[in-house]
Amino acid sequence: GDSVTQMEGPVTLSEEAFLTINCTYTATGYPSLFWYVQYPGEGLQLLLKATKADDKGSNKGFEATYRKETTSFHLEKGSVQVSDSAVYFCALDSSYKLIFGSGTRLLVRP
């Protein structure tokens, strides 16, 4: 069945460092791909999305490109802030259901 694998955390960075969180997927066809973010004590919020191969989703300085050839959707940000500390989930759309990765906790230190 469809599945999502993302790098284990926690990822600890200093402010202004470059961020990459890896995400790969297994799916039949070409599903839509998502990154969701969960801030402490809150529900999940959509961060960005890509609906077809080579699409680049972007929001709040974060980017991810839908790579069909490597079945990947890695999340990147050029300069992280303390306020980016959260848990990040990669997900794919499978017949109107979302399949989530296990989440990666990011901690950004001042």
Partner 1 sequence: NAGVTQTPKFRVLKTGQSMTLLCAQDMNHEYMYWYRQDPGMGLRLIHYSVGEGTTAKGEVPDGYNVSRLKKQNFLLGLESAAPSQTSVYFCASSSGQFYNEQFFGPGTRLTVL
CB closer to partner 1 out of 67 and 100: 100
- DSSP annotation string for 76-99: EESS--GGG-EEEEEEEEETTEEE
Per-residue contact flags (x/-) with partner 1 for residues 30 to 59, judged by CB under 8 A: --x-x-x-----xxxxx--x-x--------
Where are the alpha helices (H) located in 28-70, listed in sequence order? none
- CA-based end-to-end distance of the chain: 41
CB of 99 to partner 1, least distance (A): 8
Q: How far is it between the farthest Cα atoms of the chain? A: 42
Number of residues that bind partner 1 (CB under 8 A): 19
CB of 75 to partner 1, least distance (A): 15
**Does 102 interact with partner 1 (rule: CB under 8 A)?**
yes
CB closer to partner 1 out of 17 and 67: 67
Q: Is 57 left (phi over 0), alpha (psi -120 to 50) or beta?
A: beta
Provide the binding-site residues for partner 1, judged by CB under 8 A.
Answer: 32, 34, 36, 42-46, 49, 51, 89, 93, 96-98, 100-103
